[in-house]
Chain A
Amino acid sequence: MRPEALRGVRVLDITRVIYGPWAGTLLAELGAEVIHVELPGAGDVLVRPVAPRGKLPRNISSGLLCANANKYFVAIDLRKPEGVNLVRRLALRSDILLENFKPGTFDSWGIGYRQLRAVRPDLIYVSMSGFGNWGPLSDRPSYDAYAQGVTGLAEITGFPGAVGVKSSAWIGDFLAGTYAAFVALVALVWRRRTGKGQFIDLAQTEVLLRCMDWTWPFLGLTGRNRARSGNRDLAAVVGAVVRAADAFVAVGALEEKEFQGLCRAMGREDLLPLAPYRLRTAKAHLIYEGLEDWARRRTLAELEAAARQHGFSVSKVMDARDLHSSEHLRSRRAVWFFEDPLWGDLVLPFALRLGATPGRIRWSIRPVGFDNEYVLRKILGLSPQEVDELYREGVVGRWDPALPFASPPPDWDGKRGLFFREGTEVLEEGQR
């Protein structure tokens, strides 16, 4: 098996919901050892119960599943001083710490960056929040939908005659979480060069502001607001989602050759003079009206054939079923089928195709506290007696069996999927 790029890197992930957990997952998919800390009993109550219509097939929480893979789940009661102490001990053995609590919370608990750097100066500490650790709005909450709303992203999405639309995906969490993973690795490069850690303050709203293409220079230069343009891209022309006879289809033709191909396919040679890119955007609506009119009377298959023949790009507006059954995505393992050591047959999306050090999915989510022994015994090196004591004091704990979203599958045999068992070596899935 080819090596993983981040082998030997340990990440302490004390985060909730999506923004933080997703950053930890990306690092875990690249080979880091990631310890995910929750509260005993219910675990992360903000995300574990999240499931469409409350459905939890095999006790699997969809909210948890979509942002967690390859992590060790430990449950520590951070409200107890001994719990905080345990987190401190884990931090001292970690390279990167991720947290997305309200700014200042960890500092008030004595495990903020100021306290940890005193004993671990090379720690990389990433504080993830809605608006940052300082500044006039820093006390505002971190919600994806609020981030999409307050930045203006929702107001530039959708149709002019209706209302602004947010993505149903928690993009303020997922995109910012991806950015957080990237920045953590930038800091790791610096640490390998100098031995120095650092504090990183990352606001999810600011990542969304960064990703709104020409919005800000347009406002600055024109004094006008950016209007919604529905399914037509008015700056990268041609880019549109159109209604075909039997499906919604996206059409793209950015290069001159692609544009010429599209004009020929549409029988609209009159538009050919617009092929040089700089002539196109001023006439964008003319082009899009022609495209929409042409596509309406054609099937997806006809549009695909025209795109192959004439050299412009198309894609069906894919839904989950289309993605799941795509030969293309399956052949690339972008749709990653795997046998999870605990849950059995599962699928996750995957994109980190590095040639020499490919990322991979080893396992998915875990019940609350499922990896307590792996973390406490193997990583912290505690004795069985010390671990028993922590359980007795309620400093660590496992899932509340009354809560399906916190628990193992209903048919769990008490052993399946555990990476640490007394008297045996760690199972293969858990080996680094």
Chain B
Amino acid sequence: MSWSDWAREATAPQAAREKPEALEGILVLDVSRSSYAGLFCSSLLAEFGARVVRVEPPGGDPARFFSPEGMEVGGTGLAYLVEGRNKEHIVLDLEEERDRATLRALSARADVLVETEPPGSMASRGLGYEDLKALNPGLIYLSLHTFGQEGPLAEVAGRAGWSCSDTVTQAASGFVHTTGLPAEYTEFPEEARVPTRMGNWLAWYAGGVFGALAVMAALLWREESREGQAIDLSPAEALMCLNNYALPYYHISGEVMERPGNVEPAAHPYCYVRCKDGMVFLAGYTDANWKALCEIIGRPDLVDRFPTVSSRTDPAAVVEIVREIEKFTMERTREELVAIWNAYRGPGVTVCGEVLTPMETSRLSHWYERGALLRVTDPTYGELLLPGLPAKMSETPPRLKWVCRPAGADTEFVLLDLLGSPRAGEAPTFPEGAAPAPRGGAAPGREDL
């Protein structure tokens, strides 16, 4: 059997439902608020089989409504439809002592708690790590906040009640400074030539995946030691770790990395150039490969003008080289350019690839075959296009079991199941249309995707 056939058979996403889940039996409480760092983190754990109880305030976490143009489906914003997956959705009012007691009781049973409150806020309500550790020494308590739990800015953020904003976190990490078109690109409007935030919630994603990584390490440690721990994870610091050599290079050279636009300052050309119908990615930065690139665009004179790596990465030359290449590419479409590059048989290796819009990439069958994008029909939210599961695994693949649930839809079920009763002394209340059905075992009736 060929390697790729074997790999496909071993990791086919269609077979995932027949296989076991690596994190089965791990109970996670996600009490995050207004932050997709917490939501992404708990999704990662839920995709691998952890039982995630998503705790929202009455009316729902504001994050449930972060959505473009105010769009909602079934009372839920579009981003939350991505991160509600595989979770049981309950409502607790942590401003009320009664519900705080419920959360403490749940924490006593939990393996992991994820929170994103302003630093100190959980502790001030008797829900801090020390409070819960006393009830459950094995608890892993993950705090995600831009400025962390300690340090001068954590104190400021705690006092002023700052939430964990993605944009502020991107800026605090150094990432915004190194992203965007530089001032020299006079062909673009001035307001576009500024430090630029990433279009996606990159700081929240960086924080979420670092958080999940740290939680896994803590779970492995707990197996040895039987001890839980507190994790103080700053998404800004996580994203700072992902920003190439900006920080260590400053330390060894005294130079601050600036935003280079769509070129790579340490190797050129390794960049996007404009063409007739968008942009393409081009690489040909070593001397031999640069020669090949110039051969393709019929410009051997450029080899003579910019013969070495350092002559090409000279900041004065970078934009000029792009403009010279664009004289060729602007006359052609992405498809034509990729075909021209693929047909090149001369010496050297140079690469050309399409830069696509989300709409264009959403038409590639590759993503659907591999379950990286999913078209699903959810009983509550209808037909949806969703990101799927990046990892293909032979033994314990991740999976999407259900998309989301209304805020509080699972309150009664979870409290009955985990605590043996609805919240202390009172009948629980539910949002309209979210009638809970008593069930046995974790979240049955929803393995329908």
Interface string of A213-227 (1 = CB under 8 A from B): 111111111101110
User: How many residues of chain B get a CB closer than 8 Å to chain A's CBs?
Assistant: 179
Residues of A within 8 A of B258 (CB): 319
CA distance A218 to B129 in the complex (A): 38
* Cβ contact within 8 Å between B178 and A168: yes
CA distance A281 to B392 in the complex (A): 36
Q: DSSP class of B's interface residues: helix, strand, loop or mixed?
A: mixed
Residues of B within 8 A of A202 (CB): 390-392
CA distance A108 to B174 in the complex (A): 42
Question: Which residue of chain A has its CB nearest to the CB of B216?
Answer: A185
When A112-B3, A241-B196, A250-B172 are in contact, do A179 and B152 touch as well, CB less than 8 Å? no
| B93 is an interface residue with CB less than 8 A from chain A | no
Binds A, one of B60-68, B297-305, B435-443: B60-68
Of A140, A199, A335, A348, which is in contact with the most chain B CB atoms at under 10 Å from its CB? A199
Residues of B within 8 A of A78 (CB): none
Q: DSSP class of A's interface residues: helix, strand, loop or mixed?
A: mixed
User: Which of B350-386 touch A at CB < 8 Å?
Assistant: 351, 353-362, 364-367, 369-370, 372-373, 375, 383-386
CA distance A41 to B53 in the complex (A): 53
* Cβ contact within 8 Å between B198 and A239: no
Binds A, one of B185-193, B413-421, B422-430: B185-193
* Min C-beta distance of B95 to chain A, whole Å: 13
When A165-B179, A214-B79, A219-B385 are in contact, do A145 and B264 touch as well, CB less than 8 Å? yes
Sample of 15 further A-B pairs with CB below 8 A, known A134-B5, A157-B200, A313-B165: A108-B3, A162-B189, A167-B198, A178-B206, A179-B390, A200-B394, A212-B200, A214-B78, A220-B384, A226-B359, A235-B67, A250-B176, A250-B197, A317-B176, A357-B218
Interface string of A312-331 (1 = CB under 8 A from B): 11111111111110011101
Residues of A within 8 A of B365 (CB): 136
* Cβ contact within 8 Å between A152 and B358: yes
| B347 is an interface residue with CB less than 8 A from chain A | no
| A400 is an interface residue with CB less than 8 A from chain B | no
Residues of B within 8 A of A221 (CB): 71, 73, 78, 384-385
Chain A interface size, under 10 / 10 to 19 / 20 to 34 / 35 or more: 35 or more
* Cβ contact within 8 Å between A231 and B196: yes
User: Which of B383-419 touch A at CB < 8 Å?
Assistant: 383-396
Residues of A within 8 A of B238 (CB): 178, 351
Residue contacts A-B, CB under 8 angstroms, 27 given: A30-B217, A52-B266, A145-B270, A150-B353, A150-B354, A150-B361, A166-B262, A168-B264, A198-B395, A199-B10, A201-B391, A202-B390, A203-B370, A210-B389, A213-B82, A217-B385, A217-B386, A225-B358, A233-B201, A236-B201, A254-B165, A255-B163, A281-B67, A281-B68, A313-B168, A319-B174, A329-B151
When A132-B370, A282-B70 are in contact, do A318 and B356 touch as well, CB less than 8 Å? no
User: Which of B224-271 touch A at CB < 8 Å?
Assistant: 225, 227-234, 236-238, 240-253, 255-262, 264-267, 270-271
CA distance A305 to B278 in the complex (A): 43
CA distance A186 to B68 in the complex (A): 34
* Cβ contact within 8 Å between A218 and B71: yes
